[in-house]
Structure 1
Amino acid sequence: MTTTSGSAGTPAETPAADLTVRRARAEDVPAIVAMLADDALGATRETPSDLAPYRAAFERIDADPHQHLVVAEIDGRAVGTLHLTIIPGLSRRGSTRSLIEAVRVHTDLRGSGLGTRLIEWAVAESRRQESVLVQLTSDATRVEAHRFYERLGFQASHLGFKMPLT
């Protein structure tokens, strides 16, 4: 997949041959946090200036075999990320399911197809892990993201609830 680069808001080049999706490493934390903070919603809840809580969280994630925090890398640069959790369960006849969260693409590559590649990786990994379904959450304000997920075959199926504990 190659797209042409242009002005702001126009997709940049993302040659498929140059893209690698790999397990995140500790040195990727600053780039991941920067991507998490780089939108209107993330800017209100992330603090890239203080990486200590993110580094502690990374250690917990990295130690858990059911957690797959990955980065998409082009030419050694982290340009996308997602977090895939494999959830064994008793429901659905003891089925395993997968949960995709924190999907982000670097600003200059949004619209390039990189997000699709990340989701395709997550779906393939979910199949490899013998999950019977893949689900994801997306904030209600992320209308464009909802259209993106629907184009990839996801269906809006649940109403979500949150309870802040802090």
Structure 2
Amino acid sequence: MENVVIRESMAKDIPVILGLLYELGRPRPQKDSEIESFRKLVKQYIDDTDKKILVAEFDGVEIIGMVSIVLLSRLNQTSRELYIPELIVREKFQNQGIGKKLINSCISIAKEKKCHRIRLESGNKRKESHKFYKKLGFEQSGLSFTKNLN
């Protein structure tokens, strides 16, 4: 999609970023006080030099997708890895190459930062996402385990 630009997020994008995260299935604030906490968390993420949020902007006006990035050091590597915690494209804009543009931007950043790999996780039920990542050259390389503490 030619009229989509990938750019780094800014503080003014925070409400839209939060909306995209909710669309992805991330927790919504349960109380008004949590809304401000969520905003602060995204702002800290934007300000952190080892993290980035890239947004896909349609026609210079509407943000229709995003990807978050964390540059991580590993104990067994001399270079960092680029980890992608979240990638979302609004449903009505999916299958139009926007996710691919976001991933390609991540690949460019990883090469620029001399990362040894890009890693991401995808929920077991997201079969279409798995096909998408494989089509872009990603390989399933492990299993993810979680233990909820709440």
- Is the TM-score greater than 0.5? yes
Task: Give 1:53 shift.
Answer: 2.6
Q: Which secondary structure does the structure 2 equivalent of 1:126 belong to? A: helix
Q: Which residue does the alignment assign to 1:46?
A: 28
Q: Which residue does the alignment assign to 2:145?
A: 161
Which ranges of structure 1 fall in alignment gaps of 5 or more residues?
Answer: 1-13
CA contact (8 A) 2:29 2:38 kept: no
Match 1:74 to one of 58, 65, 72: 58
Q: Counterparts of 2:104 and 2:96 in 1: how far apart (Å)?
A: 14
Q: Counterparts of 2:101 and 2:86 in 1: how far apart (Å)?
A: 15
Q: Counterparts of 1:38 and 1:21 in 2: how far apart (Å)?
A: 19
Q: How do 1:126-165 and structure 2 match up within 5 A? A: 126-165=110-149
Q: Counterparts of 1:26 and 1:90 in 2: how far apart (Å)?
A: 33
CA contact (8 A) 1:37 1:48 kept: no
Q: 1:89 to 1:82 in 2, by over 3 A?
A: same
Q: Counterparts of 1:47 and 1:78 in 2: how far apart (Å)?
A: 21
CA contact (8 A) 1:98 1:133 kept: yes
Q: Counterparts of 1:156 and 1:46 in 2: how far apart (Å)?
A: 29
Range 122-131 or range 49-58, more displaced: 49-58
Q: 1:103 to 1:48 in 2, by over 3 A?
A: farther
Range 61-70 or range 146-155, more displaced: 61-70
Percentage identity across aligned positions? 25
Q: 1:105 to 1:56 in 2, by over 3 A?
A: same
CA contact (8 A) 2:70 2:83 kept: yes
1:26-81 superposed Cα distances (whole Å, 9 cap, x missing partner):
22122122222225xx17x3349853232111122122101011111112211110
Q: How do 1:8-157 and structure 2 match up within 5 A? A: 14=1, 16=2, 18-38=3-23, 42=25, 45-47=27-29, 51-75=35-59, 76-92=61-77, 94-157=78-141
Q: Counterparts of 1:49 and 1:21 in 2: how far apart (Å)?
A: 32
1:102-132 superposed Cα distances (whole Å, 9 cap, x missing partner):
1000122011110011001101111111101
Q: Which secondary structure does the structure 2 equivalent of 1:38 belong to? A: helix
- Root-mean-square deviation (CA), in Å? 1.9
CA contact (8 A) 2:64 2:90 kept: yes
Which ranges of structure 2 fall in alignment gaps of 5 or more residues?
Answer: none
